[in-house]
Amino acid sequence: MFADKMILRIPGPTPIPPRVQTAMNQPMIGHRSGKFSALFARTAERLKPYFGTKQDVYILAGSGTSALEMGVVNTLQPGDEAAVLVSGAFGERFAKICERYGIIAHRVEVPWGKAVTPELIETFLQKKPQIKAVFATYCETSTGVENPIADLAKAIRTHSDALFIVDAVSNLGAVPCEMDAWGVDIVVTGSQKAFMLPTGLAFLAASERAWQVIEQNKSLAFYLDLKAYRKSLAEQTTPYTPAVSLIFGLAEVLDIMEEEGLPAIVKRHELMRDMTRAAMRALNIKLMAEDQYASTTVTSCDPEGTFHAEALRKMLTQQFNITIAGGQQHLKGKIFRIGHMGYCEPLDVLQVISAIELSLHQIGAPVELGAGVKAAQEVLIAHV
């Protein structure tokens, strides 16, 4: 085993393509130069198809959470009421951000491992017509659930004038997103997931409906004031110092994604999801999410006491230098999560499944060697 050959199979950060690493090593240029302005404006424009929007996409130097906070602080005021759809740890994060700004956050919760249904939000909104915004998580990485954003948007539009704000940090760029067609008002994401970059960039797009609210809203933010980003993007720049090297990398990422094409990217991720789920079933490991709502980018697995999830993770790291994710909050130590997004392809999935089988054998867990790999191969063969 080569010590420097780290294999990341977590829900982010994800592996970085060598082409992108090379692009980020370009000599530094002035962030207020004409050369950078041209690069920045073109790169922001190229992000639009992944959001499914004709609106501008804003790029800020910060983690995905900074964009979540931007979506909150620019649309709501202290004392406003919001509905937060909570199906795991990251839905809860939206609620905490709201509460930090004095916004009344009504949690609409489902058990971890379940998806939020349109019927649930319809019932809630009928009882709470004063709600000004609904927040949801597209892919809840803590549970491996993909919430039905298009259906939720339709339900919200039917029963409310509230803005619909979506955290798509852990799957945008790997799944369909039709922000304009679905009627979603704000979509946010980050750089270190399906966009195959290091952590450090966040992206946000807002609808015309959202902008009508934002323009009238007195933002409590300084760095996260969205109006400042809109003004600067019109001038092909940013209000504050951009992460120049990451923008170099983002331009290269978009080259790679455009070469493959979004429909093919989506199919590749769906295939890797199906291979992973077939393998876990063949190994008699419980899947947390139902097929209908299974995440395209991360699979959450529950050993249900047949072996210790942390023992598996430790063995994978020690023997194969492979990192998979553990559980969060009350699921810490109980489940494991396999990331399959970004710079990842079906052969990588076969690799991690094979290593999981060997690791299960080494920790004394019941396993039929080759069963998971065979099941995943059969899915791959049927796809080819």
CA atoms within 13 A on the CB side of 315: 20
Write the DSSP symbol of residue 233: H
Strand partners, 135: 84, 165
Q: Give the phi and the psi of residue 125 in degrees, each rounded to 5.
A: -65, -30
- CA separation for the pair 162, 160 (Å, rounded): 5
Looking at this protein, which amino acid is placed at residue 306?
A: T
Q: What three-state secondary structure class fits 61?
A: strand
Q: What three-state secondary structure class fits 270?
A: helix
Nearest Cα neighbor of 170 from 144, 197, 139 is 139
186-190: strand order across its sheet: 57-61, 201-206, 186-190, 163-167, 133-137, 81-86, 104-109
CA atoms within 13 A on the CB side of 100: 13
Q: How many other CB atoms sit within 10 Å of the CB of residue 45?
A: 13
User: What is the number of H-type helices and E-type strands within the chain?
Assistant: 15, 14
Q: Where are the beta strands (DSSP E) in the chain?
A: 7-9, 57-61, 81-86, 104-109, 133-137, 139-140, 145-146, 163-167, 186-190, 201-206, 286-287, 298-302, 322-326, 336-339
**N-term to C-term CA, the chain:** 31
Q: Return binding residues.
A: 337
* Long-range contacts of the stretch 311-317 (C-beta < 8 A, 24+): 311/363, 312/336, 312/356, 312/359, 312/360, 312/363, 312/365, 315/359, 315/362, 315/363, 316/355, 316/356, 316/359
| Peptide bond before residue 13 is cis, with ω within 30 degrees of 0 | yes
Residue with tokens 């019932």: 123
Q: Return binding residues for substrate.
A: 337
Contact 378, 274 (CB under 8 A): no
